[in-house]
Structure 1
Amino acid sequence: MLPAEWIPHRRPDDREHVGWIRPEGDAWVAVSLLGRELTGPVGWLEAEEALDGLSLAWLADVWMLEREDAPPLRVRLVEVTPDGVVVQTDDFGAIDVPVERYDLPWPPPPTLRPRRPGDPDGRVLSL
């Protein structure tokens, strides 16, 4: 659940919601849509600048969902809200392939992470 003291922040040029600014003592912390801290304690203007500089392109990126006893799973973000995060297996843009959806809490656990070099790409079969 989103803490009441978190203040939504929208980019000034397009009014797109890009995160929150939360108080920490006499300072402020910029927080992403995934609930992850983007800055440490800084001044209000620095927190705004950190959020204003964000692109939302990361929402369309490939992510990895790490699992116990299995290789990481290549996923895409479907929904990101303070009520939860929904990811689904990557369909590589096809509309006729089955996908699996996973409901995660918000903020998501560290097992949901951006793709790194060396992660399975989903296009190479291991025999």
Structure 2
Amino acid sequence: MIPAQWTAVHRDDDNELLGYLAPTVGGDHVIPTTVFGHELAEPCHVDDAVEVLESTGLSYLADRWELLSDAHSEPMTVQIVEASPASVTVQSIDYGHEGGYGTRFTLAAPTGSRLQRR
């Protein structure tokens, strides 16, 4: 689950949740993140972080991602099936990966380094 101290950023025209601003230790900067907590940029000022979220929108949901698993030595190519502040569900689109094309995995948010944008 996304931590309560993270600030939600919504699109102005339809109030759709774009992502979150995660505070940094020093407090001078924030990190723009996806709906499920994946970092989209380095720490920056609030205005710049909001701009990252507004310019990215929800396009990251259509991207290919790599899932890192303790059970496999190589990352698996996946696509996002469902995303929320609580979790993200991805589906394998990697024909060459052991475990099968179409296998779904649900990760708790924030996902940390287990899920990487390609």
Q: Normalising by the residue count of structure 1, what TM-score does the alignment of the two structures yield?
A: 0.66
CA distance in 2, matches of 1:67, 1:91: 14
Question: Per-residue CA shift, 1:50-78, capped at 9, x if unaligned?
Answer: 22211322211221223344433221111
Deviation at 1:23, TM superposition (A): 4.2
Deviation at 1:86, TM superposition (A): 1.0
Q: Normalising by the residue count of structure 2, what TM-score does the alignment of the two structures yield?
A: 0.70
Q: Which 5+ residue runs of structure 1 have no aligned equivalent?
A: 93-97, 116-127
Deviation at 1:9, TM superposition (A): 0.8
Contact 1:65 1:111 in 2 (8 A): yes
Q: Which has the higher contact order (CA 8 A, sep 6+)?
A: 2
Say which structure is richer in helix.
Answer: 2
Q: Does 1:27 align with 2:8?
A: no
1:103–1:5 Cα change, 3 Å = same
Q: Does 1:71 align with 2:74?
A: yes
CA distance in 1, matches of 2:23, 2:64: 31
Q: Which 5+ residue runs of structure 2 have no aligned equivalent?
A: 96-100
Question: Per-residue CA shift, 1:24-55, capped at 9, x if unaligned?
Answer: 4553413322313434141x323322222113
Question: RMSD value over aligned CA atoms?
Answer: 2.9
Structure 1 residue runs of 4 or more that deviate by more than 3 Å after TM superposition: 22-28, 67-71
Q: Return the letter of the residue paired with 1:65.
A: L
Q: Secondary structure at the match of 1:107?
A: coil
Identity of aligned residues (%): 34
Equivalenced residue count is 110
